[in-house]
Every structure is written in structure tokens, then in C-alpha cells.
Amino acid sequence: MSVFDAILLFLAGFLSGAANAVAGGGTFITFGAMTLVGLPPIVANATSSVTQFPGYITSTLAYWTDIRHFWRGALLLCLISAIGALAGALILLALDNPSFRALVPWLLLAATALFAAGPWLKPAPKPGHEASVGSLAGSLAQFTTAIYGGFFGAGMGVMMLATLGLTQSGDYHRLNALKNMLAVVIAAVAIVVFVSGGVVAWPQAIVMIPGGALGGYAGVWIAKRVPQNVVRGFVIAVGLFLAFYYFGKG
């Protein structure tokens, strides 16, 4: 890894953390940066999961006041999420890089479209309702989302928030707290599988994680001064650029 690569990865980690703090979509940036410095797509995807994980933890802790009211009822969804993430991560490891590379542009397009539609997919506020987490439809939707999250994490948060809004009760903040809690489970299981499979590029991850932490902190400042639409537009542009870049590479 050259000095230029290290600087690029650190900056990508910073931008990813800032984007996640303001509008989400940081995975597009980390995945793209790692592929640009020459990492194979599967390794870039797995390593991106590692770099995003600290942010999932801090977001969950920030919602602890909400989570402590329903965490026992959410244990079933945590178990379902773990099983789905395990399946998705194992599917990823079963592919070779050429096969996954052929899927990447389509996955990026789908994730970018989902991210772009995020503001319209947010659940409508339902003040005064506790978050219900035990429905069959919700369990099936979460299992599907967890498979996707274990396989390819870009857009997972938006997808999960949308499905939780359709299948669970509770106001937006409770659903977002539940989403963050489940994202930790999905990412943790996927990371264990990826580490066991030897597909994590640790030098690159170690460079990006501090950048992500600083970016997450700076994202609070950015959120107060830069319109979210500007940040969302940047993330969408990155997603589209990467999709067409992979289409062009074949």
C-alpha cells in the first residue's frame, strides 16, 4: 500500500463517516475507494463491512434510551438477522471474484436507487406507539434484508428502515433504533465469516477506521451547515459512477 493509497483510503473513511452521520450511504465511498486502490471486489466488500462496524455500534448506543424499552422483544429479530447475515456472507464467499464482479454494477444500481428513494421510504411517524417486533411479516422481511446485508451491505440501512416501517409499529426514532441494533448483529456475523474466510484487508481497514471515526464526528458539524440533499446527491453520484465504472470494466 503506497502513501497515496493510504491517504486516499483515510479520506474515503472520513467522507464515509461524514456521509453516514448526515444522510447514510458511506459504504459506497469505502467500497469504491478500496476497489480503486486495487483490492478485489469481494475483499473490498468484506473490508468495507469492518470499516462501517464502529459507526453501527455508536449509532446503537446513541439510541440506548429507546432500545432498553424493547430489546427483549427484539431478540427474535436479532436471531433472524444473525441467520440471514450468515447465509448472505457464506453466499458471498462461495462466489469467485469474476462472478461477484459481474453482480456488483447491478447491486450498486439497486442500492443507489434504494438510497435515492430513502426520503420517500421513511416510515410515517406514529407518536405514542411502542415498537412491535414480533410479526411474521416483519420476521420474513428482516430475514431477507439480513441476507442482503451479509452479502452486500450498501443500502442495507435504508432497506431495513423501509421494511421495518411497513411491518412494525412505533414512531420513527424507535424504528431507527431497532434498525441500528439489528445492523450491529448483521455486520458482526458477516465480519466473523469474512475474517474466518481470510478476505479482510486489514492494513486498508486500519487506515480507514480512524478516518471514519473523525468523519462521523465531523458529520455533526456538517449536518448543521450543509443541506442533506447536497450530501445525498454526492453519495448518489458516487454510487452511479461506481455502477457504470463496473459496467464499463465488464
pTM for the complete prediction? 0.81
**pLDDT for the residue 130:** 47
* Residues 116-147 as b or e (16 or more Cβ within 10 Å = b): bebeebebeebeeeebebeeeebbebbbebbb
In whole angstroms, give the CA distance from residue 211 to residue 7.
10
pLDDT per residue as tens, the chain (250 positions): 899 999 999 999 998 888 777 667 788 889 989 999 999 999 999 999 999 888 888 878 877 887 887 777 788 889 999 999 999 999 999 998 888 888 888 888 888 887 787 667 665 555 554 445 556 777 888 899 999 999 988 778 778 877 777 777 666 667 778 888 898 899 999 999 999 999 999 999 999 999 888 887 777 677 667 776 777 788 788 888 888 887 887 6
The angle that helices 228-249 and 97-116 make with each other, rounded to 10 degrees, is 150
Tell me which long-range contacts 132-140 makes (C-beta under 8 A, separation of at least 24).
Answer: 132/73, 132/168, 132/169, 132/170, 133/70, 133/73, 133/74, 133/76, 133/77, 133/168, 133/178, 134/73, 134/76, 135/167, 135/168, 137/167, 138/77, 138/163, 138/164, 138/167, 138/168, 139/76, 139/77, 139/80
Q: What is the pLDDT of residue 131?
A: 44
Instruction: Name the residue ranges covered by the structural domains of the chain.
Output: 1-247
